[in-house]
Amino acid sequence: MIHIKDLKSGLPIFKALGSEIRIEILEMIKENKSLNLNEIATRLGLTNGAVTMHIKKLEESGLIEIMNTVGKHGIQKICYLHEDIVTIELQSSGNENVYEVEIRVGHYSDYAAEPTCGLATKDSIIGEFDDSRYFADPQHIDAGIIWLAQGYLEYRIPNYLKTNQRFKELQFILELSSEAPGYNNNYPSDIIFSINNTRLGMWTSPGDFGGEKGICNPEWWPPHLNQFGLLKLLRINDEGTFIDGCRISDTTLGDIGLSQTSDIKFRIAVSDSTKSGGLTVFGRNFGNYRQDIISRIIYDVVDG
């Protein structure tokens, strides 16, 4: 996800999107998951040189990523969508107070896991597949991907607020999918979010995605396993709880009752429900987004 906090910082993206041809290229890549330069040129009826110019602007903006692969006719440049969500703040008070921390997916403070389950660092699998005992291995803090069929992962979020400050909004940005044996692009799973045991709401993951290599995955990661997830933005404020701008519940910050002395325990869970397709959490060395779990706390300063 690209979050544009002020219009000037978004100029490269606005310029990249200011062309009908580049919009058409993005739509083609979105529909086909990936395309090489020759395929794009043929579909548009343009020369490779003309397409290269447009692709360069899209790559510089961060909207697409290009990978070199060996094909039948030599090296090919394959184009993928690098970001699938762009948010723009058109109005800001200019006085908003915020701090942000990035929590490694392996830095959970509590867990429960049932097979199929496992975790891996950027270098190797931790322990053995489907053995939840390895979730307690000290090496778990280095995990870059975690998967489980049922259970939860809980993370402690730092609370740095002072006595004259109050919570205005909590945001979590993370890459998620379901968990199927191997992978299954159509494998719905109800994923439940909570803070301090207060349920925030539920999002249904459509599948456990594979069939094409995740952009950030290490070379050794097996192709028959899941490859990437979907980047989700979870927001909790005084109006309710939202995912990607869509309300998922009426739970507000007031219902959680946070103060400057509160623990903040963020839990992601799946259970034996109608759509129990497991959970996978991707860190910066796996999936399609080079990030771990981003936690953002927005707060007000109270006079007196």
β-strand 279-282 against 246-249: which pairing, if any? unpaired
pLDDT band at 89 (very low <50, low <70, confident <90, very high): low
Q: Are residues 184 and 242 in the same domain?
A: yes
pLDDT tens for each residue of 102-123: 999 999 999 999 999 999 999 9
Q: Which CATH number characterizes residue 44's domain?
A: 1.10.10.10
Q: Are residues 100 and 72 in the same domain?
A: no
Domain that holds residue 195: 93-301
Q: To 10 degrees, what angle do helices 48-61 and 37-44 make?
A: 120
pLDDT tens for each residue of 188-216: 999 999 999 999 999 999 999 999 899 99
Q: Give how many domains the chain has, as a whole number.
A: 2
Task: Look over the chain and give the mean of its residue pLDDT values, rounded to a whole number.
Answer: 90
pLDDT band at 12 (very low <50, low <70, confident <90, very high): confident
Name the least confident of 35-44, 91-100, 187-196, 258-267.
Answer: 91-100
Predicted local distance difference test score (pLDDT) of residue 93 = 46
Token duo for residue 46: 């343009």
pLDDT tens for each residue of 216-227: 999 999 999 999
Predicted local distance difference test score (pLDDT) of residue 100 = 95
Predicted local distance difference test score (pLDDT) of residue 274 = 67
Predicted local distance difference test score (pLDDT) of residue 304 = 59
Report whether 215 contacts 287 (CB < 8 A): yes
pLDDT tens for each residue of 135-193: 999 999 999 999 999 999 999 999 999 999 999 999 999 999 999 999 999 999 999 99
Predicted local distance difference test score (pLDDT) of residue 72 = 63
Q: Write phi, then psi, for 245 (nearest 5 degrees).
A: 85, -5
Q: Which CATH number characterizes residue 236's domain?
A: 2.60.120.260
- Domain end residue (candidates: 42, 60, 86): 86
Per-position DSSP letters for 171-231, written without gaps between them: EEEEEEE---SS-BSS--EEEEEEETTEEEEEEEE--BB-SS--TT--TTS-TTS--B-EE
d(CA 142, CA 140): 5
Q: Are residues 113 and 77 in the same domain?
A: no
